Copies of this chain bind each other. A is one copy, B any other.
Amino acid sequence: MVVYQDSHSQTVDLSDDEVDRIFRALADATRRDIVRRTLTEEATISHLADHYEMSFAAVQKHITVLEGAGLVSKHRSGRERRIRGNPEAVQKAQHLLNAYERIWQGRIDRLDALLADE
């Protein structure tokens, strides 16, 4: 379990599994590209699939992984499904990395205190 404070000083909890899924989903160039594209504008699955040298079904699977991580969501529109990137999930990942940053900064602060003592 991970706990951090967001920009409004709200405490946010993320299970290890949720964090695993977010980083796992981002660990693939095709999936990162899908997130990038759908953050700026929605796209259908087959439209996305046109951009990659793999089968439609493979792209579909990547989208399933991204959806499981909350990085994109699907919205029905007739026979199409529009895929929309979710900036909040990206922010979650950012907050997690910020926490590491603070941990590291904490070490520096303690080092400074140590040096100040001498």
Contacts and interface: CB of A to CB of B under 8 A. Distances in A.
Interface of A: 16, 19-24, 26-29, 32, 35-36, 39-41, 85, 87, 90-91, 93-94, 97-98, 100-101, 103-104, 106-107
Given A29-B20, A36-B103, A40-B106, A94 B90 contact: no
Contact of A98 (B32, B39, B94, B103): B94
Contact of A103 (B39, B106, B107): B39
A8 B104 CA distance: 20
Given A87-B104, A100-B35, A101-B91, A27 B29 contact: no
B97 A101 contact: no
A21 B20 CA distance: 14
A96 to B, nearest CB: 8
Nearest to A29: B16
